Amino acid sequence: MNRLFYLNTFRWYVRLPIKWAVFGLVTLFVCYPYPSLLTKHLRHWQDPNALIEPNAESLQPLARDLRESIPPGLSAKKTLRHVEMFVYERVPYEWDWNTWGMADYLPTVDEVIEKGKEDCDGRAVVAASLLSGLGFKAEIVTDFAHVWVKTDKGETMGPGGKKAIVATDQGLKINWRGLTELPRASAYGVAVFPQERELILLLLGWLLLLGARTGRRRSLIAACVLVAGFYAVRFGGTEYRHPILWLQWVGVGLLFGGVAIMFLSNKNRAEVSEPVAPAL
């Protein structure tokens, strides 16, 4: 099988960068197959608060319904909760890969209203816009896995863990302590992302790990170990707020183990195949 891979005839310092580039490009395409949407997504994240549009024409029917539904004299804290439930009801939850065909996309108010459904980031944009129209100072906040709204009267839209990025009037503010949430967010992303797309990447990684002398038995064992590790990480991260940490660590260990089996198989067979110098 590995004879099909012309890359394996190259020197390691040429072969490895090419393989990493191939894996990176395929990963990018699998997660973000629409370059124009990816460009917009990155531009939107440069200034998420610019997406807060209380005067957007498409938002006005929701804004009117919201104002009519708020009881007189409602406290700021209860208003935040009221807006949260209102947005949950009027903007049904849907994953971005079902709505946009992308792993993630931060939409505008108009795009959310047009689609009629969104995940946490689109809901946060709508909620922040509605709250801004009610006089709240609203900002977009994320911990890498969830996006919610921070206001001068409190937080809403299901506040997550440590704030990693807060969109302020002065630009994006990064909380470096919030980076500790990145591993858990990554595991959660693996858990909820379509497994067929992830299996494509797992298969590609296995194929790229095949060396010119990889044994068939070891390559199949490594494939089984990699698949087991993938599903352990996936099942362990299903509940973002309550992950099964031990299962995630087992999964990470299995993934590294699968890679090690492939690497050692390539190395050992390469050493065995080297010609032995004749004795003098």
**Which residues form the domain of 143?**
35-174
Whether residues 47 and 13 share a domain: the answer is no
Whether residues 199 and 153 share a domain: the answer is no
Tell me what pLDDT residue 160 has: 79
Which of 191-213 are b and which e, b meaning 16 or more Cβ less than 10 Å from the residue's Cβ?
bebeeeebeebbebbbbbbbbeb
- List Cα–Cα distances, 198 to 18, 192, 194, 224, 242, in angstroms: 21, 10, 7, 15, 22
Indicate the residue among 149, 174, 199 that finishes a domain: 174
Q: Are 180 and 145 in contact (CB under 8 A)?
A: no
Distance CA 76, CA 177 (A): 29
Whether residues 25 and 76 share a domain: the answer is no
Whether residues 219 and 132 share a domain: the answer is no
3-state secondary structure at position 172: strand
Phi, psi for residue 142 in degrees, rounded to 5: -145, 155
Indicate the residue among 174, 208, 225 that finishes a domain: 174
Whether residues 240 and 129 share a domain: the answer is no
Tell me what pLDDT residue 213 has: 65
Q: Are 56 and 129 in contact (CB under 8 A)?
A: yes
Domain count, the chain: 2
Indicate the residue among 155, 174, 193 that finishes a domain: 174
pLDDT, averaged per 10 consecutive residues of the chain (280 residues), comes to 61 85 95 96 94 96 96 94 97 96 96 96 97 95 92 92 82 81 86 94 92 78 96 91 90 94 69 45
Check residue 47 and report its DSSP letter. -
Neighbours of 29 (CB within 10 A): 12
DSSP code per residue over 67-123? HHHSPTT--HHHHHHHHHHHHHHHS-B--HHHHTSSS-----HHHHHHHS-B-HHHH
- Residue 179 located in a structural domain: no
Distance of alpha carbon 48 from the chain centroid: 17
- Residue 280 located in a structural domain: no
Where residue 162 sits, what CATH number does that domain have? Answer: 3.10.620
Q: Are 172 and 136 in contact (CB under 8 A)?
A: no
Instruction: Give the 3-state secondary structure of 121-145.
Output: HHHHHHHHHHHHHCCCCEEEEECCC
The beta strands (E) that lie in the chain are given as 138-142, 147-151, 154-156, 165-168, 171-174
> Over the stretch 114-137, which tens digit does the pLDDT of each residue have?
999 999 999 999 999 999 999 999
- Residue 278 located in a structural domain: no
- Residue 265 located in a structural domain: yes
Residues contacting residue 219 through CB under 8 Å, at least 6 positions apart: 206, 210, 262, 265
- Residue 138 located in a structural domain: yes
